[in-house]
Amino acid sequence: MDLVFGFDVVRKSVEECFGYAAEYGLAHLEIDLIRGHSFIETFDAERINKLRGLSEQFGISLSLHTPFTINPSDKIPTIRDANIAYLKRCVSVAHELNATHVTTHVGYCLGVKPSKQKALARLVANLKQVLQDCRKLEVKLAIENVNPMPEGSELFYLGDSIEECKFLLSELDSPYLNLCLDIGHANTNEGPLEYIQKFGKKIINVHFHDNNGKTDDHLDVGEGTVPWKQVAKALKRIKFFGPFVSECFNSEPHEAKTALQKYF
């Protein structure tokens, strides 16, 4: 089966990217919602219809990536409710776009480490509300594993370990909740091979980039310590064929595709 490659659309509007993607055989566009040209509020009926048409015309699938600043575990009710409403809106737009899924970070907490357990408990309760919409609209949600913060930090990312990702998937136990494996993030913690072994078929999206195993540098494939040959073998073993979404900051998406493809 052919592999599906794509990239995270950040710097340009997604409408500008279809021609380039088609030219280089990039069959997936992940729309990052972090910048003004792609704020979720810009996806009105007219834009959604246009994007669906372009997706069908070029044979390129779409997905959404929520801003990394989202925090559905916030302990302040007004802020927490706004985050939940935002996620629900993303699920609705994904449904209207015929998108394959929505990828999201799951938030963060401040304070001391024991605060994480309380934040995770709030997160589980709040994601249940979002997953009700996912089930109704048949949209998959992919939580992204993130890199751990440095020792001594007063800010902690949720989902920064196999244990926490496994906890969320187990507690919520939904066919609509899956994992976006970020290979670079995994390389700063337990390692991508361990994530692939633990989560297998729950992986529905892969972000790829490299680093030195310590900091989240988003280097090009082969410039860090990710064991790409073994990663490719492990992904083939679980029959994961894509999308492989480039988050390599120093190369164009088609160059990143070529660099990764040689390992398969």
13-59 pLDDT tens trace: 999 999 999 999 999 999 999 999 999 999 999 999 999 999 999 99
Which pLDDT value is given to residue 189? 94
State the pLDDT at residue 115: 83
What confidence score (pLDDT) does residue 111 get? 76
pLDDT of residue 110: 87
Residue-level pLDDT at 220: 97
Sorted by where each starts, the structural domains of the chain and their CATH numbers stand as 5-261 (3.20.20.150)
Q: Before 253, cis peptide (omega within 30)?
A: no
Residue 133, both tokens: 């919409």
Instruction: Provide the pLDDT for residue 37.
Output: 96
- Return d(Cα 195, Cα 159) in angstroms, integer: 12
Nearest by Cα to 256 from 194, 183, 191: 183
Average pLDDT of the segment spanning 151-160: 88
Size of the chain in residues? 264
Strand partners, 206: 181, 244
- Exposed / middle / buried, residue 53 (Cβ in 10 Å: 0-12, 13-18, 19+): exposed
Residue 122 is predicted with a pLDDT of: 94
Q: What is the pLDDT of residues 206-232, one digit of tens each?
A: 999 999 999 999 999 999 999 999 999
pLDDT above 90 covers what percent of the chain? 92
| pLDDT band of 114, cuts 50, 70, 90 | confident
The pTM of this model reads 0.96
The DSSP line for 144-188 is EP-PPPPTT-SEEETT-SHHHHHHHHHHH--TTEEEEEEHHHHHT
